[in-house]
Every structure is written in structure tokens, then in C-alpha cells.
Chains A and B, each alone.
Chain A
Amino acid sequence: MKKTIKYIGCGLISAFVFSSCSDSFLDEKKNYDNVSTDIYNYYSGANGRVSDVYAWCLPTPNVQESQLWKYPSAGSNDLIGKSTEEYSGFGSFVDPDNPLSSTSSTNSVPDYFMSTQSNIQEAVYGRIRNINDCISGIKGGSLSEDDKNTFLGQCYFFRAWCYYNLVKWYGGVSIVTDVQNPDESSVTPRSSAKDCIAFILSDLDKSAQMLASKTMKGGWGSSDYGRVTTGTALALKGRTLLLWCSPLFNRSNDESRWKSAYDTMKSELDSINACGYGLYSTSNNVNGSDFASMFSQTSRNSEAVFITLFNNFLDNGLNDTQKNNAWERYIRPSNTTGSGKNASAMIIDMFPMADGKRPATCNTYTKLEASDSIYDESYPFVGRDPRFYRTFAFPGFRWAYSGDPTQADSHNPSYDSGKNYAVWNYVWYTSISDQGNPESGNSYGADNLLTSKSGVYVRKKSDDYDVNNSPLYQWNAKDANGGFAHSGAQHMEIRYAEVLLNIAEVACGANQLSDAVALLQKIRARAGYSASNNYGLQSNLTSDQAACMSAIIYERQIEFAYEGKRFDDLRRWMLFDGGATKVAGAPSTWTLTGWGGNTCTWLGFKPLNGQRRENMEFRVADKYGVGGTTYDSDPLVKSNVTRCAAVDLRKDLGPQLQTLKAWYKSNLVLKLKKGDARNASHVDEYMYFNPRYYFLGLSSGASVVNKSLPQTIGWEDSNNGGAAGTFDPLAQ
């Protein structure tokens, strides 16, 4: 026994000695969470990485106000939309009460430079880092040259896209082209606008060239549809060149810029067309139906040059295979389970009359001829541009869809499950004093709209059942976001119409006026105008450069209304003050010397600063008295007033509009309601866009983590105790 025990003791000692030497088991431990840079050696891996770039960088119509740093505005009533004619209610850029600050977090200037620092996937420069990681990874990987080009071409496009969005706000930013070490010394100085634009153009050229072999034979194959093409790259290049020619960047109206841009863009149009792009149109355009149906295409859409695709999947609560376009639910009235957007009276008053000319009452675009038709604001829908009816919805207009809204609220009118839906958003008040008070919004909408009503609905980009008989949404009335939540409508960031209007504008700037007008005519033709009245265009456009430019800017405003483009145009052309106001501390090179020193005067455009926007509402006539607060207290219904037939855009409009006008006349009254704010003493306030906003300053939040970056001229530098900014984006 004793011996055995001794052996056990010795055994223990030797086991002890041997076991204690090896630490090889530590090296065998693996990380099972993730994969390594090896992925770039595989097609599927590189493809997954490029998909990541798309997922973070593609624009979306679902953009919320708080995400405007991440996506361009898509036409919503966000702070950008509310800084244009399209929506009332001072967006922060035009708010006279709350000037933007670059030193305080109160009323801070929007931060489109950083926004979030901690999240590489979303941060402005995080997305650029992600793209740079892809570029270096793919370059260093072992894929074939052809595959590498396919992926790199897409990466370069998105890098240019990220920088384009920075440059349009800041003029000049840091150009980061590689994956930097995350430490304090990794500082990249701000480059001038000139260098930034050159960098963007070079990335776009690379992209266009690398994607040429894959996309210039009519675009991608059907399963890759939606990816960017040579045409997408060249279209963005056109937009960038136009930005560089615009007064914001081209204070002296250097004509050589316009000429060079025009030559480039004109010559590259063929390449864009080769990718399968063209102005969307059909052979049976009725009352602007082509203008409507291009937004409800499901397959290849020639209009869609830069596109984000969606599907109509329902959320299954488990995975994220669904990716829905929220626009339809944003704009549809609440009695169809949507939310509804309220158009301002200002833009309604600006839309052209049916002859293509501006209403005579419209006191802007004065270089353009006024229409001979009388515009009566009480019946704004009478005799307007075809696009007007596809952009707005008034009480008494059909706006059909497919789905039963009574499942969501039994008091919603069914209108044959939406198939014959007409919006009857007239309102009544519950007291006479409210009714007469322009500040009071205590009105109730008919057809169970009640308090969730809009005076005039935005209808642009809608999936109209009368246009598209196979809706893009999977109706689900009980969805928390309403029945239209699951729409697969495509979202177009760059439409072919913009490609043409961009060229038209540089043509005009290069004094090639007849080329410019020819392009304008194409846009007008698609809208429904014909050569018989010169597409509603006045004759001197080929001879008067200012009138021609004014016509192009007007056309853009109408064609792209509620597509998030207007604020960029206003800034590009400095239309808040004509560019005439000097920014404190700005060098002489900032002074606008081209266009007679004032773009507004030159264009005949009334500066937006000093104007205000109201809202329209059609309330029941005084004779019907006031109503109650519930769906069944409509004074018109109680007085047994019969509604006239709703206006059907598939039929001849003329007589229908007259009938509706007559019905309005006997039953409704236009009420102009307070749109933009009034002060505490109920006095009107007016838009004020401080000229220093044309180039945004770095917000205090962005400055704090970029200690070495200088502040833009005109803004206080929060890193230097509020000293004046020194960075000049326009430096040569």
C-alpha cells in the first residue's frame, strides 16, 4: 500500500511537470463571430461587401428629418422641404426666430459633416471609410481583373456620391481616400471646392469606365437591375459639373466652366443612353398620366438613372427581407390609413396654367410670360399644367387605390375598397370664432378625416390605381403604419428628366440657347404639351439668356416638386437673396460679380427672404353653420348636400373641373390659414435665410472632434472660442 501511494505521489509530480509546459491550446482558440479580410478573395465576399456599401449609401424616400445628414431629402415636409416653397412652417434654414449657431447645441446648424461618430456604418465619414476598406480590400484580393473592375466601379461611384453630398453643403471638405488609423494624429485638412470637385469627377470617371463593359449594352441584367451603371456615374458627373458652374461656386460667372461642362455633358449623353436610359413615356398619355406612371414602374424604368429598389414584403417580425417604400403611406389621407402631406398655398399658386405659362398672379419668374387664363385662387384646380393634377389632390378628386380601409377604422368610407376613392377633404369648424381665425386649425375633415386632414394633399409619386392597376403595395390595413406600409415602389434619385435639364442648364449658361430650349421642349412634351403652342414656352427663350435660365429653373421646380431637389436649386442659384448680401469676413472673391451681381434680379425671381407661405383649406360655406367633432357631424351631410362626381383624371378634365368649381361655389369657401408662424402678438413672420447658410459651417459637435479643421468663413469656430471662421471653400 505504502509503495502504491508513493507511486501515486511520483505520478502526480510527473503529470504536474509535463502538463504545465504546453500553451498550444491557446492558439487553437478561434473567433467564431466574424470573418477576416480573406473575404475579398471570393466573389461572394466582395459582393457582400459592395452590397454593404449600397445598403448604407443608397438614398431613400423614407428619410426622417433626423437622418438628413445621411440621405438627401426626398420631398417630405422635413426642415429642408419647409425651407422651400413646397411646405409652410419655417424649416430651420429659413426660421427668422432661431438663427443657426455653430457654437451652441441650441439651434445648432444641422450637422451633415459627422452627425454620429461612433457608428462606422452610418457616420458620414464612416461610410467613406467603409468604401475605402472595400476599395483597398478588393484591390488587394485575388479576384480577376474583370471582377475587380465590376466591384470597384460601383465603389468609386458611391465614394463620389458621399463626397458630392458633403461638397454641396460645405463647399470644401477633407478628402480621405484610405483606411486611416483611429488616432488623434489622423488629421486630413479641408480641401478647396475646386479640389473636391476634381476628386469627385475623377472617381466618377473611373466608375464610368470600369462599369462600361458591363452596363453600356442596355444596363445590367435583370437580376442586377438597380445597380449603378456607367450612365449613373455620368449623370452624377453632370450634376456635379452643374453645381460647379452654378453661382454658388462660380461667383464671376466664368463662362468657360459652362462651356466645358456643356461639351462634356453633351458628349457623354450617348453613353448614358447606351445604358438603357431615356425619357419615360407611353403612347397613351392622358392628363399627365405618363408623368404619374413613371413612378409606379416595377420592371426596367428608362427614367430611373439612379434608383433605389424596394419590395412589397410584409414584416414577418423575424428577418429583414422586407424593404418597403414609405412614400405612399406618407402622402395618402388618413381615411385610407395613410398620414397625408399638406402642400403650401405658395407652390399651388406658382404652378403653370394649362397653356404652360405662369399664372398672372404669380409675382415671381417675371422674365417669363404670364398666362392669359385667369387664375382664381378659390378654384385653384381650374385650367392648370397637367402635372398639377398629378402633384396635388383637392376636395373632389379621384385618387383610387386598392384596399379596404374600414378594417382599420369602421368609419372610414370604403369607396369600393378604394377602387373609386375620391378625397373629400373639405372641413368644417365647431365654432364661428375658430372659423374666422386664420390661426385656428380646429377644423374637422369630412369622410372621417376629422382632425387628421390636410387642406390640399401632396399626391406626387403616388401609386394611383387609375394609372397602375396592379398596385405596388401589399395592402395590410391593420399594419401599425397603415395599409400602404408595404409598398415596393422604386425611388428615383436621378431621373432622366434631370439629366436633360442639367444639360439644358449648362447649355443655357454656355449661351447655347436653342440647344437648351430643345431639351426643355422634350420635358414639356412628356408632360403633355405639344409643338402646336411651342410646348407652352415663350418664343424669346432662344434669344434671352436670363429668360431661358429662368424657364429652366421654373421647369425644374415644377417637374421635380416634392422630389427633394428644390432646396439645392435655391441654394445653387442663391435665390433667397440673389447672392447680393455680403457674408461677414468673406473675401472679395465671394462677391457675386456675374449675373449683374444679383441672380434674383437677373432671373426675375422674387427673393424668398421676406416672403411667407400660407396654407389653403376649403371649408363649408357659412350657410351650413358649424359642425361637431365626430365623423357623423358633417354639416354638408346633415344638410343633405349631394356631392358632385369626383374628377376622374382618365377622362376629359374641362367639363369635370367646371362642375366641381360650381359645386365649390355653392358649398365651400377658401380659407387661407396661417402657414408660417406668427409671433406672440399674432403678427406675420417672414422667411429669413442668412446668406452665410449657403456654405454650412461645421456644427459645434463636428468641430469638437475635428480640432484641426478650420471653420468656414462666416461662421464662428467653436474650437477657437467663437473666433471667425477662416476656411474659404472658394479658394483657388
Chain B
Amino acid sequence: MLAMTSAPAMAQNQNIKGQVVDENGDPIIGATISVPGTKSKGTITDLNGNYTISVSKDAKVTVTYVGYLSQTVKPGGKIQLKEDSQNLNEVVVVGYGSQKKAHLTGSVATVPVDEIQDLANGGLASSLSGLVNGLSVSGGDARPGENAKIYIRDTNSLSDVGSTAQQPLFVIDGYIYPNDVKVGNSSQNLGAEAFNNLDPSQVESISVLKDASAAVYGARAANGVILVTTKKGKMGAPQVSYSGTFGFTDEVARPKMLSSYNYGRLYNEIAAADPTNTTLNKTTALFQADELEAMKGLNYDLLDKYWKTGSTMKHSVNVSGGTENVNYFAGLSYFNQDGNLGKLDYNRWNYRAGVDVKISKWLTANLTVSGDYGKKDKPLVKVGGTNSEKDYNLLLTRPYYMPESVGDYPIVAYGVSNTQKNQNQQYAFDVLQNNGDFSKNMNSNLTINGSVNYDFGWSKILKGLKLNFTYSKSINDDKTNEYGSSFTLYSMTKRFGSGNHLYTPTAGESYDDYVYAGNFNALQLDNGNYLSRTMTRTDNYQLNFTASYARDFGLHHVSALFSVEKSETESEYEVGSGSNPYEFTTHQSNSIQGDKTTTFTRSESGALSYIGRVNYSYADKYLFEFLVRSDASTKFAPEHRWGTFPAASAGWIVSEEPWFKKSVKWMDFLKVRSSFGLTGRDNTAAWQWMQVYALDSNKGNVFGEGIGNASGSRITINKSNSAVNRDVHWDKDYKFNVGLDASFIDRRLSVTFDAYHEWNREMLMNIAQTVPSTVGTPSAAVNLGEMDNWGYELSLTWRDKIGKDFKYHVGINTGYTDNKVLNMDWETDYLYRQITKGHRSDVGLWGMQCIGMFRSFQDIEEYFDKYHITSYMGMTKDKVRPGMLIYKDVRGARQTDGTYAAPDGIVDKDNDQVCLSNRTNPYGFTMNFGAEWKGFSISGQLGASWGGYTLLPSQALSPNGSIEYCNMPSFWNPDNMYVYKDIYDGSGNLIVAANRTALYPNLSYASVNSVASSFWRISSAQVVLDRLTIAYTIPARLVKAIGIQNARINVTGQNLINFYNPYPDSFTSPMAGTYGSYPNLRKFTVGVNLTF
């Protein structure tokens, strides 16, 4: 019967040839040609876009290709496909499977992977900024090898209430990288590391699960999930592509600092600020007139000397291809970013090779091996603390009158008093850079993914059922070698100038006067004086058995999934170090004079999960999804191990309704969707449910007669794990999302809108305020916190064509987030500026209300009298001086009834602060735009945010350490700073004139003047051009001759232009990052993309 009906059709079949091309007329490879309503398998286009299909005479064929609108046409000739700007047929990875974008019921965003290819960033996270609505990226623009952090939907507000803010969960090719592996005494987020180490050219897609759809990852999904799939081989002849980038990195802005001469004058104004000080030694304590004169010519700008333009480069080569039975993909890439200062350097190799094998029609297998190998060199800083920003900071703030060395003697940065004020003065950049000291890190990650898929398509009953087994293993090795030497700096007993303050001769002096051995005191200093090696190895695996089922029954589509997931992690940490290496050390433990130690620790954890999901849709209009995940983790006590995380969602594609199609012409597509579900968070130290003790070797005390007994060991209650709470369990985060996707005007305008509300409950946090101190310990983490977060996200995209060749698009992402704290470890002091129940976690910016400056002693008298002040910033009236800012007495102490008393005559930071900004910038948008004309294209990103205020950075308001060795930003021009009376030097020369009408208060009183106050408030509005790429694709006909299919060159800039600078004297830029720290980098790169 079957044969009878099909036979005639077969008889009339004819072979028709045709070609599928894109809008530019270029062939589309791999487009599917099928005959609708038949069981015929169809065919796909070859490398030239050509196909041959055998169809009946009048049959039509449907041509489909991802990213293009499907067409059903008569076969033959050239079929030109139109790009689908909505990508409705695009398939989106949603975790344990994928879905057509049109069928999504949750808030799942995708990263436009094409737009990140030209960016030269060491870590992938910083490339994502501004591209996904609701995803924010912080950091990653400054030091090479340091990565940005990603937050989805306001998760960074969690830290305000005492919960550890966490990054989202990273899942790469189905493998959930552990986000919290204990290594030594710290914890490692291997997921974030693996994600940042990916090479963009090897990434096929990135999805971001923002709402309850993340519940499929259950206990770790409350901060959202980022899903990455990497590239797989595509059918066709081997295709080789190369992309290379080369460019330069340089500071976005360098803070402007005072010249030597102005620093000297400023120093004098500070030293002589107090008119009641009768014991100021005018010769030794002030720069003298001759010295100031000489300082006009001194400009030892060490940052300028050592800062250099850095270079960055990237090369990637990818090969892919495949036949019907085997596909393969292999890629290799190299990234390098030089530091701009000293020995900073970062480079990384990435590799990835995967093969998909079709063993039979029903059995397929995949094997992928991927990994990366990175090296990071940093300066080793062990002088005066280990702050790694010291190199930049101390070069920036070193007064310009201090050379690095005098004669052959490298000097210690002693200022006017010629004594040490702070160990930071012993940090000598050039000596430490040239001593051979190093901190070298090598990191290698290897991941192996293997999977077997079995399809029951051969069985009538089981048709639609697929089984899948995957096993992923990752091995992470990390090694840091450090060497810190000892070195010698010199101080000078006598220095140049009539006050003995300079390191260089003043007029009439010569170097010979003081440059002789006896005038230099050697200081033997250590930059750690040790060798160490730290090794870490982490082994993880994840094993999944998944059964999935999908089948259509008429207009009913049913699919279901069930998976068991098991994973284990173990890490080993070993550190060995030795002190006092020989000068000729080989950097191994065999060339150490001092003692050696070794420490090794291990940690392990395990998790087991069951995942189930059911999808149902009817007529592609009504969409339903229900999922549940059950998780067990060894972080918690056995009875609290398991957590269950369900979620449900539904969608309605309104535009599929016949009445809509008929009556609404101006709208092309409309879908409404909603989801609700529970996700978790396990951000707590493991094993808090057991009372444990820790061994502190050698930290005990000395027993025994004599003075040669080592301090013994002791067994201590670990201070961070001192109290036991057996009841700790998962955070719970209920997520609700309602959204709509629409497109208008022939799909030129598309709109996505999402509104969400999250109920964070039982958040893990430590409580301090309410536990009486007589208990003796703070609480262990308890499930205490409650916070509601909500917001909306709106994305508008306009995509159009003008004429035949000019295409352009503009997309705007904007939104709003807010929250309400319902329970936390409430503060009990100064409630007027603390988070209180029912209010948002961002309490804004608080500070003193500045109402002027004391410009005379009479001002002080009047102020004290008028406001009945008894204590001003902790001082009685006789300690207050002209040149201090005047703050308002706003209120008194809190009273028993909870209100604050009227102004009480005591002005202090406790009770007299006012709100200077309601919250950090609540408003903002990001605009991504692009245009193409013939082979040329331009694309870029512009961002703006506004609505809040900020303060000048505190480091710019008071010298870091002591003004003796710390230069100040240029707005501290001595002509603008308050000076009570004329200042004369030891010889009676007027060196600074009184200035009682100055703009700025005297820095001498920084403890009063530098506190947060309205005086230092500036707008925090920002408008910046983040990125711009200009590219040209060389016409195919020109390059084909030399065997190249596609050639494209681009010029890209990152962190480009800052349009608004609120800083006085523009001494730094809002785009530059934190004042005093390594600045954000502006990058210019030239890239080449070739496909062979």
C-alpha cells in the first residue's frame, strides 16, 4: 500500500540543481533543503552553496539556515536568503539541552559572539560588558592577567547585607565548573577562571540564564548561570581561519600631580599651618627659599620614567570540517599582554580539539580535549606590606624633587625630617625591579569531555527517546615561584640646600659637597628575602546520565528530560619556602642559607543531583515548562544535604493567533512569557557544622629553662570557624519574571522587556550585632537574611537598510534595579544612615554637611557661640584652627525612643552626617551601534549613567602615610590652599604669603578636612565611548586568487573617550579607575581575519 502510493511520485521525480546565496550573493554552505510534507531526507548545500535534489515536478522546497529566514520556493536557480534580524529560529542553549529562541519561556539572553571577536581582552568577562541587558561587569581593564567579575541582575547588592556576593555559575559545554574549591586557605572559582581563559574565536555561543530558568542548576544558580558552547566541526571541506590582533595599551589618564616647586610650597603651608605653634623650626622644618628656587628645576617624575606603552597581541588558528559521519574542530590561540610598568606580563595559550563521530544512525559519540596554559609575571612587593598596588602608587606619589639615587647611592625616600615615617619610603622601584626578584605564576587547565548519545528512533514505541552519557574531567595545575632578595638603600646625613632638604645641589652648591661615602648611611632592607614555591592541583569530574524525550503528536509537542549528575572535587595544595637565599641563588631550595618549611593540605567535596524537565507546547503558540532539580552537597550536615529547586514557566506567542495575524499588521511578532521558580546559593565555608580545632605550629609559647626554646605549637579554635551551626543549609531565592518580545515595522524594530522580582530568603550570613560579646564568639553562618530584589530590563533594537548597500543598527539596553532588605544582622548604631528594615541596601552616600571654612579665629569663636558647640570633631575650641572646614551640627545622639535629639553642640562623624547622594547612579543605558557599507563596517558601544553623586577619592584628600614622601594631585595648588599668615624661612625670606580667601582648606588638618563631606562631593554622571571598531572586508574576488575566501581587517579601540570629567583641575578621569591604583588601559588594536 505504501509502495503503491509513493511509486508514482518517485516516477515523476527529477534532479534539480540550484544554489543558495546570502544577501551579498555569497554562497551559503550547509543550508538545508527539504521538501515539506514528505519523509524525504532532503539535502544540504556544498562548499559553493550548490545542491542537487530529487523532487517531483511541482514540488516546493524549504531552504533553512541558522540566522536566516526560511523560504519555501520552487527549487532551482539562485535562492537568496534574507538575514533574520530576530533570529527566531536561532537555537538557544538553555542547560541540559537547547531550545528555539521563539519557544523560550524564561529570560535567557545571548551574547552576540561576533561582536566580541575584535576585542583584545585577556579575560572573556570584560568583553561582555554592555552587551547583555542585566549583566554587569566590573574590573578587568587594568593590570594584565587580572580578570573582570560578572554580576547578573544586581547580585552585587547581596554583599551589602552581609551575604557573600557571588559570580554566576559558569557551565561550559555542559560541564559545571566548580565555583568554590578550597585550595590552601583560600577558595578558587574554577568556573570563572575557565570562562575567562576561553578564546572568543572558539566560542560558538554564550547564553545567560537570568531568571527561574536557571533553576535547572539548582543550588548554585541563584546568581544566574552563564552557559557556553564551544565550536564544533561543520560539514564540508576543511576550513582554516586565522585571526590576529596586534595593538597597544596605555593609560586612560594619568593623575596630574604637583610640580616639585608647588609640592615644596604646599609642604611649607602644611608644616607652618598652625599659628599657635611657636616651636616650629623655620630652618629645618620648612623648605628654604633657596631650596624652593632650586626645586623649580627638579622634575624627577618616576612614573613618567617607568610607565611605557604596553603591547598586546593575539593569534588564533581554527580548523574545522567534516563529512557526514565525522566532524572535527581544532583551534589554537595565543594571547599576550605586556605590562606598562616593570615586569608585568601575561600570556596564554589555548587549545581545543573535538571530534563528533556518527557510529551508526542511532549512536553518536563526541570527544573534546581543551585547555589553556597561562603565565603571569608580577613584581614581588614585600616592602612595607604586600599591597600589590604599591609599585604604581608610590611612583605616582613620590615628590618630584627626590631623585632615585644620588651619585651611585640609591636613596630611601626620606622627606624634610630626614627620618622614616613609614616603611613605604623603603620601596625603591628600580632596585626591586633590577634585583631579579620575581613572582611567576603558571597555570594550566585541561578539560576532557566525552559523550555517547543513543537515539531510540528505530523503535516505534520508544521513538523520541534519547540517552546520553557524558563524562567530563578537568585538571587544574597552578604553580607560583617567588624570589625576594635583600637590598641596600642609603640615607644622607647632610643634604643640599640651606635647610638640608634637597638631594640635588642648590645654586652655589656642587655634588662634591655632600656626595662622599661618609655622608651616606646604608639601610639593609629585605624584600622578603626568601624563596617559595606554591603548587596546587585540583581534579574534578562530572558524570551525567541523561534521558531525553521529544515527540510531536499532531500539534502537540512534548519533550522531557531526566538526568542524574554526580561530581567530585579534590584539591591538593603544597607550599615550600626557605629564607635567606644566597646572593648567587639558583632559586631552588639547595641554595638557601636559612630555614625551610613545607605545608601541604588537601580538601575534597562531592555533589549528587537529579534533574527533571518537561516541556509542552501546542501549535507553537502555547508553551509550558516545568523543571525540578534536587541537589546534595557535602558542604552541609548530612540531614541538610538535600535541597529541591522547582521552576515553572509559560509563554504565549500571541502573533501566532489567527486573529492577530489578521488584524495587527504593524506588529510582526509578539510573545508574552512568565516564569517562577526557586534557586539556591551555597556561599558558605564547608564543614561549619562540625566543631573543629586547628593546629598552629610554633605559635604557642615558650616553656623550659634557658632562652633557646622554640615557641611550641598549639591547638586552637579557628577564629573563622569558631562556632558551630549544624543547621546551615542553602540560601533560597525565589525568582519571578514576566517578559515580552515583540518586533515591529517589518522586523526593523525589536523590543524585549523583562520585569522581575526575586525573593531572597534564608540567606547565609554571619551575625555579629545581636550575639552578646560575653558569649565570646560571633555566630557561625546562619540562614538569616531576607531581601527582595526587583527591576526591569528594556532592550530596543533598530535594524534597517538604506539603499542597497548601507545597513545599520542601533541597540539600547536600559533598565532599573532596586531592592528592599527585610532581615539581616541589623546595625544598631547611627541608624539614620544604616540599612533599615524595608529599605534598599544602598543607603547612599553620607557625610558631613560643610557650611564653610574657618578663616580666622574670630570665625571659630562665632561658630562656637552661635551654635553652642562644645566639641568639634573630637576637639575643644582651643584645638580648632583656621583652615579647617566648618561642618554643621545636624543632630544629637539617638534617644531611647529611637529618634535623634536636636543638635547637641557636639559635631562629630557619629551623629552629624547628612545624605550626600541617595544612591549610586540609578539610571543609565548602553548603546551598541553598527553600520555597514559595502565592505566597510563600523561598530561601537557608548555608555552613560547618572543620578548619583560621589566624593573625591580619599587618597586625594589626605596624604597616604605622610606628606613628607607623598605628592598630592594638582588641584592642591598651593595658591588655592588656605594659609593663615605669611610664612618666612630660617633666613627671614617670605616663602609663602597668607591666603585667607583660598578655595581649599589646609591639608595639615586632613583628619578634619578629609572626612566625607558635601565639600568634596562631585557628580558621578558618566558618559563614555567604550569601544569602536572600524573594519573592512576585502572583496572576495580580490583575495580568492591567492586562496583566501574571506579577508577582513579591523581597527579597534577600547576605553576610548570620556565625555564628562567632574574632578577639579581634571586631575584624573572617571574612566581611569581608582586614583592611586594601576589605571584602566586604553587599547588600540589592528586585527586581521582570514578564512582559507
Interface residues of A (CB under 8 A from B): 1-2, 5-6, 8-9, 12-13, 15-16, 19-20, 23, 25-37, 39, 45, 48-49, 51-52, 54-55, 58, 97-98, 103-107, 113-114, 117-121, 123-130, 132-133, 174, 176, 180-184, 186-188, 222-227, 298-300, 308-313, 316-323, 409-411, 430-431, 434, 437, 439-442, 451-452, 472, 478, 480, 488-489, 629-631, 679-682, 700, 702, 704-709, 718, 720-723
Tell me if B698 and A319 are in contact (CB < 8 A): yes
At the interface, yes or no: B721 with Cβ under 8 Å from chain A?
yes
Interface contact A439-B694, CB-CB below 8 Å: no
> Per a CB cutoff under 8 Å, which of A5, A180, A680, A705 touches B363?
A5
Minimum Cβ distance to chain B for residue A699 (Å): 11
Task: Give A406's nearest chain B residue, CB to CB.
Answer: B521
Task: Give chain B nearest CB distance to A687 CB in angstroms.
Answer: 16
Given A113-B773, A183-B779, A312-B707; A98-B284 close (CB under 8 Å): no
Assess whether B83 is interfacial by the CB under 8 Å rule. no
Q: Are A318 and B530 in contact (CB under 8 A)?
A: yes
Report the minimal beta-carbon distance from B381 to chain A, rounded to whole angstroms. 15
Interface of chain B residues 327 through 378 with chain A (CB within 8 A): 359-360, 362-363
- Chain B residues contacting A104 (CB-CB under 8 Å) are 893, 906, 908, 910
Is the beta-carbon distance between B706 and A298 smaller than 8 angstroms? yes
Q: Given the known A-B contacts A49-B693, A125-B773, are A30 and B879 also in contact in the complex, defined by CB atoms under 8 Å?
A: no
**A33: which of B359, B419, B601, B908 is its contact (CB, 8 Å)?**
B601
Q: In chain B, what residue has the closest Cβ to A174? A: B774
CB-CB nearest in chain B for A318: B597
**B48 CB within 8 Å of chain A:** no
CB distance from B291 to the nearest CB of A (A): 14
Are B699 and A55 in contact, with the CB atoms below 8 A?
yes
CB of A322 within 8 A of CB of B711, answer: yes
Task: Say yes or no: A48 contacts B580, CB within 8 Å.
Answer: no
Instruction: Across the interface, name the chain A residue whose C-beta is closest to B275.
Output: A680
Q: Which residue of A lies closest to B467 (CB)?
A: A12
Check B829 for interface membership: any CB of A closer than 8 A: yes
Least CB distance, A18 to chain B, in whole angstroms: 10
Shortest C-beta distance, B870 to chain A (Å), equals 10
**Contact assessment for A16 and B278 in the assembled complex, using a CB-CB cutoff below 8 Å:** no
Contact residues of B between 808 and 841, Cβ < 8 Å to A:
828-829
Q: Is the CB of A118 within 8 A of B360?
A: no
Q: A182 with B594: in contact, given A16-B547, A133-B717, A223-B703 (CB under 8 Å)?
A: no
Q: Which B residues between 672 and 694 are near A, CB-CB below 8 angstroms? A: 686-687, 690-694
User: Closest approach, in angstroms, between the C-beta of A202 and any C-beta of chain B?
Assistant: 19
CA distance A13 to B452 in the complex (A): 12
Contact A705 B579 (CB under 8 A): no
Is B469 on the interface with A (CB-CB < 8 A)? Answer: yes
The verdict on A488 contacting B713 (CB below 8 Å), with A120-B719, A182-B775 known, is no
A129 touches B454 (CB 8 A): no
Q: Using Cβ atoms and an 8 Å threshold, which residues of chain B touch A682?
A: 276, 278
Contacts of A430 in B (CB 8 A): 281, 283-284
> Would you call B714 an interface residue if the criterion is a C-beta within 8 Å of the partner chain's C-beta atoms?
yes
Inter-chain contact B708/A318, CB cutoff 8 Å: no
Chain A min CB distance to B783 (Å): 13
What's the Cα separation between A700 and B706 when bound, in Å?
A: 45
Task: Compute how far the CA of A174 lies from the CA of B843 in the bound complex, rounded to whole angstroms.
Answer: 36
Nearest residue (CB) in A for B911 is: A104
Whole-angstrom CA separation of A45 from B716 in the bound complex: 10
> 10 other contacts beyond A52-B696, A704-B829, with CB at 8 A cut-off?
A19-B543, A34-B721, A51-B715, A54-B701, A117-B773, A125-B774, A129-B777, A182-B780, A313-B710, A705-B828
Q: Whose C-beta in chain A lies nearest to the C-beta of B704? A: A223
Q: How far is it, in angstroms, between the C-alpha of A679 and the C-alpha of B879 when the chains are bound?
A: 8
Interface size on B, residues (CB 8 A): 123
Contacting pair B778 A182 (CB below 8 A): yes
Chain A min CB distance to B465 (Å): 9
What CA separation (Å) do A320 and B700 show in the bound complex? 9
Say yes or no: A226 contacts B467, CB within 8 Å: no
CB of A686 to closest CB in B, whole Å: 15
Report the Cα distance A311→B702, complex, angstroms. Answer: 7
Are A121 and B716 in contact, CB atoms less than 8 angstroms apart? yes
Binds A, one of B399-407, B602-610, B733-741, B1020-1028: B602-610
In chain B, positions 473-511 with a C-beta closer than 8 Å to chain A are 493-494, 500
B712 located at the interface, meaning its Cβ lies under 8 Å from any Cβ of chain A in the complex: yes
User: Given A23-B632, A311-B709, A439–B521 Cβ distance below 8 Å?
Assistant: no
Q: Chain B 624-643 against A: per-residue CB contact (8 Å), 1 yes, 0 no?
A: 00000000101000100100
Q: Which of A49, A299, A702 contacts B773 (CB 8 A)?
A: A702
Instruction: Out of B705, B717, B775, name the residue touching A125 (CB < 8 Å).
Output: B775
Known contacts A55-B699, A133-B717, A318-B578; is A323 also within 8 Å of B705 by CB?
no
Quick check: B705 and A222 within 8 Å, CB to CB? Answer: yes
The answer to whether B159 has its CB under 8 Å from any CB of chain A is: no
A300 to B705, CA, bound (A): 6
Contacting pair A434 B604 (CB below 8 A): no
Q: Which residue of A lies closest to B894 (CB)?
A: A721
The complex places the Cα of A704 from the Cα of B528 at a distance, in Å, of 41
Kindly identify which residue among A37, A52, A130, A410 contacts B776, using a CB–CB cutoff of 8 Å.
Answer: A130
B700 cross-chain contacts in A, Cβ below 8 A: 48, 51-52, 54-55
Report whether B776 and A29 are in contact in the complex, using a CB–CB cutoff of 8 Å.
Answer: no
B564 within 8 Å of A by Cβ? Answer: yes
CB <8 Å contact, A629 and B776: no
Q: Which residues of B contact A103 (CB under 8 A)?
A: 893
Interchain residue pairs with CB less than 8 A apart (28): A5-B362, A12-B545, A26-B607, A29-B604, A31-B692, A32-B602, A33-B182, A34-B692, A34-B718, A48-B700, A54-B700, A55-B716, A58-B701, A126-B777, A129-B777, A186-B774, A186-B775, A226-B701, A308-B701, A311-B707, A317-B594, A323-B702, A489-B707, A629-B284, A682-B276, A706-B774, A707-B828, A721-B897
Closest to A411 in B: B493
Chain A residues with Cβ below 8 Å from B616 are none
Once bound together, how far apart are the Cα atoms of A631 and B878, in whole Å? Answer: 37
Question: B604 contacts A30, CB within 8 Å?
Answer: yes
Task: Select which of B284, B547, B606 is within 8 A of A29 by beta carbon.
Answer: B606
**Docked complex Cα distance between A310 and B276 (Å):** 47
B707 and A184 contact, CB distance less than 8 A: no
Q: Are A120 and B703 in contact (CB under 8 A)?
A: no
Contact A312 B708 (CB under 8 A): yes
- Whether the Cβ atoms of A706 and B710 lie closer than 8 Å is no
8 cross-chain pairs, A with B, having the tightest CB-CB distances, nearest first: A488-B707, A129-B776, A34-B692, A48-B715, A721-B896, A721-B895, A321-B710, A440-B279
Q: Known: A106-B908, A318-B530, A705-B768. Is A19-B710 also a contact (CB below 8 A)? A: no
Given A32-B601, A58-B701, A704-B769, CB of A318 within 8 Å of CB of B894? no
A-contacting residues, B564-603, CB 8 Å: 564, 566, 568, 577-580, 594-597, 601-603
Determine whether the beta carbon of B910 is less than 8 Å from that of A5. no
Partner of A48, one of B695, B718, B829: B695
CB pair B707–A12 under 8 Å, yes or no, is no
Return the contact of B529 from the options A181, A308, A317, A409 (Cβ within 8 A): A317
Partner of B719, one of A8, A121, A186: A121
Given the known interface contacts A118-B778, A322-B711, the answer about A34 and B693 at a Cβ–Cβ threshold of 8 Å is yes
Contact A309 B530 (CB under 8 A): no
Tell me if A120 and B717 are in contact (CB < 8 A): yes
Known: A35-B695, A119-B719, A300-B705. A20 touches B776 (CB 8 A): no
